Amino acid sequence: MTDIESRIDTSRPHTARIWNYWTGGKDNYPVDREAGDRIRELHPGIGDYAKADRLFLGRAVRHLAEREGIRQFLDIGTGLPSADNTHEVAQRVAPDARVVYVDNDPLVLAHARALLVGTPEGRTDYLDADLRDVDAILAAAAKTLDLSEPVALMLLGVVIFVEDDEESYAVVRRLMDALAPGSHLVLSHTVTHPDMPDVDAAVAFWNEHGTPKLTQRTPAAVARYFDGLDLLDPGVVSCSAWRPETPAPPVAMYAGVARKP
């Protein structure tokens, strides 16, 4: 058994594996499926959130590669490999695109090394690190990415695991401060909203039974992550409403894309 495999805990449900279950993946365990089903009972639309967030990722990466000329992506909180991962979308547009994935979940890392293989022209790498390890992430990412050139910082559904508000904002600012002008922030976050009380019940269940615990924030609090950046239209909205190809109902995952001036 490798060191990474020895770190995999199958006794408690884990968020990456539950999202994998909700999106139709097979990289999960009975404990994850049981928790996922219970959360879905509390909030029947939760599986749609996972799918909407994944579709948002694809649209955002495709836009950045096609319209903004971005050729470098730093994807922190990767999650388990699925269809249309960041490097697949980016390298479909630009085969020479470079992508660095960062996660600290051992199951994610084990699968990433096996499945997240990029084009010969591009580069794909994987780092074992926590979002809070900003200096370590930047130092390791610089071996694959040229940080003097624009980079897309991908933070989808990951800052929700930093409980303290000021710490979470500070982490995002430190990462963006280290990136060149023309870089972009792509961020999504679970929200609490008076129109969606069942979301709060689902999150409470998760925080009692699952790992790691997550923090909801209001739409206004999510928008604060983009302070000092130039938001792309339509701003910070439900991720299903960010430039959809076809209209979709709103979900309690808010997202935005913004450019560093």
Do residues 84 and 53 lie in contact, with contact meaning Cβ atoms separated by under 8 Å? no
> Between residues 254 and 46, which one has the greater pLDDT?
254
Report the 10 Å Cβ neighbour count for 197. 11
> Between residues 179 and 27, which one has the greater pLDDT?
179
Range picked from 51-55, 128-132, 191-195 for highest mean pLDDT:
128-132
First vs last Cα of the chain: how many Å apart? Answer: 47
Do residues 171 and 102 lie in contact, with contact meaning Cβ atoms separated by under 8 Å? no
The mean pLDDT value of the chain amounts to: 88
> Under DSSP, is residue 99 helix (H, G, I), strand (E, B) or coil?
strand
Average pLDDT value for residue range 71-77: 96
Average pLDDT value for residue range 220-244: 97
pLDDT at 1 over 60: no
pLDDT at 57 over 70: yes
The pLDDT of residue 109 is: 76
The Cα-based distances of 261 to 113, 149, 180, 181, 243 in angstroms read 34, 13, 9, 5, 22
The pLDDT of residue 5 is: 52
Do residues 33 and 239 lie in contact, with contact meaning Cβ atoms separated by under 8 Å? no
Of residues 158, 149, 143, the one with CA closest to residue 100: 143
Q: Residue 170: CA atoms inside 13 Å, Cβ hemisphere, count?
A: 9
Distance, CA of 110 to chain centre? 18
